[in-house]
Amino acid sequence: MPTISPLEKAEILSEALPYIQAFFDKTIVIKYGGNAMIDEELKEGFASDVVLLKLVGMNPVVVHGGGPQINELLDRIGKKGEFIQGMRVTDAETMDVVEMVLGGHVNKEIVSLINKHGGKAVGLTGQDGHFIKAHKLYLKDDAGAGTVDIGQVGEIESIDATIVSHLDAADFIPVIAPIGVDSKGESYNINADLVAGKLAETLKAEKLILMTNTPGVLDKQGQLLTGLTATKIDALFADGTISGGMLPKISSALDAAKNGVNSVHIIDGRVKHALLLEVLTSQGVGTMIRAS
66 is in an annotated binding site: yes
76 is in an annotated binding site: no
Degrees to nearest 5, angle at CA 71 with 73 and 161: 95
Question: Please, are residues 252 and 246 in contact by the beta-carbon 8 Å criterion?
Answer: no
How deeply is 77 buried, as exposed, middle or buried, from its count of CB atoms within 10 A (0-12, 13-18, 19+)? Answer: exposed
88 is in an annotated binding site: yes
Question: Please, are residues 190 and 178 in contact by the beta-carbon 8 Å criterion?
Answer: yes
Residues with Cβ < 8 Å from 111, sequence gap 6 or more?
121, 122, 123, 175
DSSP 69: H
Residues with Cβ < 8 Å from 57, sequence gap 6 or more?
20, 23, 24, 25
Residues with Cβ < 8 Å from 131, sequence gap 6 or more?
124, 159, 160, 161, 162, 163, 164
Question: Please, are residues 240 and 183 in contact by the beta-carbon 8 Å criterion?
Answer: no
Known binding residues: 66-67, 88, 189
- Which parts are annotated binding residues for substrate? 66-67, 88, 189
